[in-house]
Amino acid sequence: MSKCTAAAAVSAMLYYVGYLEKASAQYASSRDKLCFDKNPGSNNFTYAGYVCGAQGQPWCASQVSTAILDACGNKADAKSVMWGLWPYIACNQLYDAAPSSSKGRRGAWTPKPGDIIIFSDNGTTRTHTGMVYAVEGSYVYTVEGNSSNACRKRSYLITSSYIWGYVRPDYKAGSDPVYPTEQYGPVCCTDPELHLLSKGCAGPEVKTIQRILYARGVKDDNGKEIAVDGDFGKSTEQAVKRVQEMLNIYPDGEVGKKSWPAMLKELK
């Protein structure tokens, strides 16, 4: 029998929001919030990697494993909750390990808080993962490790093609957790401290970026104009990269702290 609830797992995952990936092993063995922003970098040194024995490796799955371990209190119970698999350190592992009744693809599965969400850039290869913390209307809200070198809150249209599927761990029965989304601002892939829009996001702030791109005549790689539909898809990502190159900003396709003001100011 599972030893932790979905509410406990979600609370544990939310604790790490704001954690920054480290440039080296320094501070990577600490879960103290005072160390979250210390020695930032992009070399995949993290507390999650330290806990899961996967230091220096992409850490989105390790972050999920670490949160569930926190919620369960010990590795044996964490392994039970995760269908015999702990640590979960690759995006395809947990889905493959879970029974068919506890997993499903986008469109065939109704997500709930505590579910593990899996993403794919091409609809086939599973490339990223995180945990659902809320579902509201047409949107699913997540916490993801290794999200632009940090642990961040994100949100997506439930129908987003970036979502590959979901897995529900073997949680102990209990009330579903409720985490109101209103406190996090408008529906987009952003939070008050880590302001970021990227592929898979949806909402009014995405429309703002798309209006700028459209007004400037910036097109995607196929020469098509950008649709102002509030859905940050592949075409929008390609157009953002073009603008970033124009502004001498590293073309990562993400509208973050540097690209936001530059696009709003320079591209009017």
Of 231, 48, 81, whose CA–CA distance to 156 is shortest? Answer: 231
Q: Which amino acid is at 257?
A: K
Residue 143 confidence (pLDDT): 93
Is residue 171 located within the same domain as residue 255?
A: no
Q: What is the pLDDT of residue 188?
A: 43
Which comes out higher in pLDDT, residue 78 or 206?
A: 78
Residue-number span of the structural domain to which 98 is assigned: 6-184
**Domain-located, residue 197:** no
Q: What percent of the chain has pLDDT over 70?
A: 89
Domain's final residue, options 184, 213, 244: 184
Residue 222 sits in a domain whose CATH number is 1.10.101
18 shares its domain with 124: yes
Q: What is the number of structural domains in the chain?
A: 2
Residue 143: inside a domain = yes
Residues in the chain: 268
* Helix or strand run (H / E) with residue 81: helix 75-81
pTM, whole model, 2 decimals? Answer: 0.70
Of 235, 256, 55, 252, nearest to 152 by C-alpha is 256
- Domain check: are 170 and 228 in the same one? no
* Same-domain status, 225 and 118: no
Looking at the fold, whether 38 and 171 belong to one and the same domain comes out as: yes
Domain assignment present for residue 191? The answer is no
Distant-in-sequence, close-in-space partners of 171: CB < 8 Å, separation ≥ 6: 2, 4, 5, 6, 9, 81, 114
Identify the bridge partners of residue 31 per DSSP, sorted by sequence position: none
> Based on the domain organization, do 177 and 235 belong to the same domain?
no
222-235 mean pLDDT: 86
Distance, CA of 214 to CA of 126 (rounded, Å): 31
> Are residues 36 and 100 both part of a single domain?
yes
Q: Residue 126: enclosing H or E segment and its boundaries?
A: strand 126-136
Rounded Cα distance, 240 and 111, in Å: 30
